[in-house]
């Protein structure tokens, strides 16, 4: 009996929306979409934002395990767009867990609004890359194979002792909503100081989750949708 009471309390605390009159004590507003009546609050603790509270169109949802850095440049981002082309908008939230020289660690949450917010799974970009991209790194060249496209980048100018064992992905994971598409940029790195390009993944809603619709490797920043003005 105690087990069922505990599970019920957990469900009420984390899932059931609370009244918008819930206390803001200790919380500060970190970002909002005023035209949509959506606000995101958090508590600043030990140099990070924690214990998030989302006010969504009159209802409040608590997300105590989310974290985000407190640097305003890397504040959480809110998007309310129809990214699955079904005629209704989804709520997309991106959080930055860490940043630095050659590092940007973001995560994304997508919610369907259907008499309340429901979490939709987004496939992990590193898993997508692992399944679809083949790489090889030598002291002469870096090779990225994506489908029938092979990209080769010379590495002869780099001190061999500085090269990684293989091309590394994961130090930069950057989510955006571009032209009403959920997208992620994952940079490829061959040494502590050298990146060779970005894997760009465009998601689509399929089989009740967001999966890769298109994957490309881009070395030219002028052709990269993540650089320059981003159209949401």
Average of per-residue pLDDT values in the chain:
91
- Indicate if the alpha-carbon torsion angle 117, 121, 124, 129 is positive or negative: negative
Q: Looking at the structure, do residues 184 and 211 belong to the same domain, yes or no?
A: yes
Check whether residue 103 and residue 131 sit in a common domain.
no
**DSSP category for residue 227:** S
Number of domains in the chain: 2
For residues 31 and 78, give the distance between their C-alpha atoms in angstroms, rounded to a whole number: 7
Query: Does residue 27 sit in the same domain as residue 44?
Result: yes
Same domain, 127 and 74: no
Q: Report the chain's terminal Cα–Cα distance, integer Å.
A: 49
- Is residue 173 in some structural domain? yes
Residue 9 lies in a domain: no
pLDDT at residue 173 in the model: 98
Residue 12 lies in a domain: no
Q: In whole angstroms, what is the distance from residue 94 CA to residue 176 CA? A: 8
Confidence check: pLDDT of 16 > 80: no
**Same domain (yes/no): 105, 132:** no
Show Cβ contacts of residue 85 under 8 Å, excluding neighbours closer than 6 positions. 205
- Does any domain span residue 1? no
180, 160: one domain? yes
7 lies in a domain? no
Task: Show the tokens assigned to 207.
Answer: 């089989």
- Is the domain of 66 the same as that of 145? no
Structure confidence at residue 1 (pLDDT): 53
Taking Cα atoms as reference points, which of 15, 78, 80, 89 lies closest to residue 41?
Answer: 78
Q: Say what the pLDDT of residue 230 is.
A: 77
Q: DSSP label at 5?
A: H
Is residue 178 domain-shared with residue 204, that is, in the same domain? yes
Split at pLDDT 50, 70, 90, the class of 10 is very low
Residue 157 lies in a domain: yes
pLDDT tens by residue, 46-69:
999 999 999 999 999 999 999 999
11, part of any domain: no
Residues 114 and 154 both lie in one domain: no
Residue 11 has a pLDDT of 47
Please check whether residues 189 and 133 belong to one and the same domain. yes
User: Do residues 93 and 40 both lie within one domain?
Assistant: yes
Domain range for residue 78?
Answer: 17-120
What percent of the chain is helix, strand and coil (3-state, nearest 5)? 15, 55, 30
Same domain? 150 vs 75: no
Task: Give the model confidence (pLDDT) of 138-197 as tens digits.
Answer: 999 999 999 999 999 999 999 999 999 999 999 999 999 999 999 999 999 999 999 999
d(CA 44, CA 29): 10
Closest CA to 79 of 32, 125, 41, 124: 32
Q: What digits encode the pLDDT tens for the residues 68-101? A: 999 999 999 999 999 999 999 999 999 999 999 9
Q: Note whether residue 97 is domain-resident.
A: yes
Residue 23 pLDDT > 60: no
Give the largest CA-CA distance in the chain: 68
Q: Which residue has the tokens 């984390």?
A: 14
């Amino acid at each position: 009996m105690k087990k069922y009471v505990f599970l019920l309390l957990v469900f009420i605390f984390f899932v059931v929306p609370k009244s918008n009159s819930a206390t803001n004590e200790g919380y500060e507003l970190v970002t909002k979409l005023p035209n949509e009546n959506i606000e995101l609050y958090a508590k600043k603790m030990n140099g990070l934002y924690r214990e998030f509270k989302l006010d969504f169109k009159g209802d409040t949802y608590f997300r105590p395990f989310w974290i985000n850095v407190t640097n305003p440049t890397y504040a959480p981002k809110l998007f309310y767009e129809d990214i699955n082309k079904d005629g209704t908008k989804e709520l997309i939230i991106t959080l930055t867990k860490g940043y630095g020289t050659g590092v940007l660690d973001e995560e994304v949450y997508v919610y369907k609004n259907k008499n309340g917010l429901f979490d939709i799974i987004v496939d992990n970009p590193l898993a997508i890359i692992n399944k679809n991209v083949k790489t090889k790194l030598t002291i002469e060249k870096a090779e990225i194979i994506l489908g029938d496209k092979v990209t080769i980048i010379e590495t002869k100018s780099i001190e061999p002792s500085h090269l990684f064992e293989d091309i590394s992905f994961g130090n930069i994971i950057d989510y955006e909503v571009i032209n009403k598409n959920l997208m992620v940029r994952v940079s490829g790195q061959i040494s502590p100081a050298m990146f060779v390009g970005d894997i760009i993944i465009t998601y689509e809603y399929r089989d009740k989750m967001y999966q890769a619709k298109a994957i490309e490797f881009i070395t030219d920043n002028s052709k990269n949708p993540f650089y320059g003005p981003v159209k949401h």
